[in-house]
Each structure stands twice: as C-alpha cells, then as structure tokens.
Structure 1
Amino acid sequence: MHSTARSQRGNTLVGLVIGLLIGVLIAAAVAIYINFGPKPFTEEKNRAPARPAAQRSTPPTPLPGQPAEKPKLDFYRILPGGESASAPTITSPPKEPVASQQIYLQVGSFQNPADADNLKARLAMSGIEANVQRVDLGTKGIYHRVRLGPYASADAAEGLRARLATEGLEATKVKATP
C-alpha cells in the first residue's frame, strides 16, 4: 500500500511537469508568431493595392443641377450647437434661370431644427448640397424642410432621387412657383 501511494504521487508530479512544459511551449510559439509573423495592421510602403484601380473610390461626381465645385464644409456652422445653430436657418436656393415652375427634392421635414441640420450634414458628407427652409404652418407649428434644388427638369431631379434611394434616403418631388 505504501508503494501505491508513492507511484500515484509520482504520476501526478510527472503529469504536472508535462502540462507545464506543454503550456510553456504553446506560449513560446504564440510569442514567436506575434513578434515575427505577418503584421496585417501595419502600413508598408511597397504594399500592392488591395483593390484594382477600377474599384477605388472616387470623389462623388456632380449630378445635373448640382454645383461643379467641391462643397466647402464648415462643421461649426452646419452641425447643431454652433454659432448659427440657435438662430433660425433660412437659406435661399442657388440662383438659376427662372422657369415657370421649379422642381425641388424634399428629403425631410422636421419640427426640431437639429434633426434638419443633422440630415443636411449627412447629405453634405455625400457631396450633396441641401437647403434648410423654416416654414410656419400655423396651427401645426414651425417645420424645417430639407430640400435639394431647384432643378430645371424632372430628369435632373430623378437622377439625384435615384442616387438618394441607393443611400437609403427617400426624396419627394415638389413643384414650386417662384
């Protein structure tokens, strides 16, 4: 009986040593892999492009009726909480030849001016210039409309409307007389 207890103690000790050695070997292998293996998140100067040149993102091209120059973004004025965010925001649409009826795309109408400013900023990040119009609807209250345009033709407005649909935004055509 005395020898059986000694052999069990020896087996436990051997198992413990073998377990420790296996653990140390695994830890060493992981450390070597981390230190000397591939580094996916470091930037290499001679790395091949991840995408073919045809699939690279390009700045958004202006659509018919949109200005050709790059929009100037001043987030301190666009986002709520800026200097002009407390004052009522009324912007006039870009000057174009006056037609009998002008077509606008209305992307949203909000009672909270901050919501209208957030949508305007989201559109600006997509390269689309929007206008926020403050409108008093009498008993319904004051609303802030987010509109794009005016557009000279329904085709020009429809092209932008399709682009907005791909970005998850629903736009409604609105005809307005000057």
Structure 2
Amino acid sequence: MRSDYANSKPRRQQRGNHKKPLPPQRPPMLLFLVVLVVVAGFGYFLWTLKNGSPAPITQEPVQVEQPQKPEPHKDPNALPPKPKEEWTYQQELENKQVEVDLPEKSDQPSRPYQMQCGSFRKESQAQELKARIAFQGMEAQVHKVDGSSGAWYKVVLGPYQGKRKAETDRHELQRAGINGCMIWFWES
C-alpha cells in the first residue's frame, strides 16, 4: 500500500488532550497584611514629621528683653581680610645671572632644500607645469638632465633656506591642485 504524502491534506489534531485551565489563584493573605502594615507605618511616620512633638505648655510668664544697641551684622559668607603679600623671588631674580650658550648662526643653512614637482620627457609639459606654478606666485625652473634613458626635463623650486618654507609652498601648491611635489636636499 502506497501513500502519497505530497498531495494529501494535513489532518486536524484531535482535541482530546487539552489541559484544564487552572482556577485563578488568590493573592496570599499574609503578603497583603504585611504590605498594609508597612504602608500604615510609613503614613504614621510622615504624620509625626508633619506635626512634630508639641511644645510643653508652661505657666511661667514670658519675659521680653528690651532691644539693645544693634551690633553690626556680620556676613557669614564674607571673606577674611586680604593678607599682606610677601614675595622674595623678585629680589632673588634681580641678583641672578643666566648664561646661555648659543651656536653661531650663519646666513647660509648647512644644507639648503629644493622641491621637485615634476619630471617630463617633453619640454612643453615641463613648461606647462612651470606656468601653473607661476600662477600661484612662485618661481620654478626647468632643468634638462641627460640620463642613460635619454633627456628629462625637471621642474624644480628653490633653493629654500629651511624645510619649513618648502613645506609651506608645497601645501599651497596642493591646495591649487598641483600634487606630487617632493622636497630634497639641494643638488647643484
């Protein structure tokens, strides 16, 4: 006997195994009483704070003091008087001498810098880059270098007395869209 389970309809579950619903449980009476006692105790505590303990009533006559000369009222937040400043470092510094050894500074840097912004096979490309740099207010030179692979035309700026000035110019050229400039020590 062969059954085709693919085309058969699912059978309904039989309803014979249902669990009976449990009757609703009542909250425990002991828990209710404990909560009631705690709430009542808290209420009594708040009531005693509000009313406070009554002051004892005395039959003695109350004596009223005559107002005396008013004393000047002192502010509890007032600052104490400013202390007298006594500084000694001013006299000590007047008598001190400081000696500093500075190296001799020459007008020429020990090693000047140059910035190369391009190297081209065609002189027209190098002249075009030189013109773009000139529009930024800087002066560039085109040097022809003969190498083993032929002639190259390098676009060079400098010499710079310090690397900081060369970096400043490089950042200005980068903002103008001229990238790829490299800073090297000056080669004559």
State TM-score, norm by structure 1: 0.43
Look at both structures and tell me which one has the larger radius of gyration over its CA atoms.
2
Structure with the larger helix share: 1
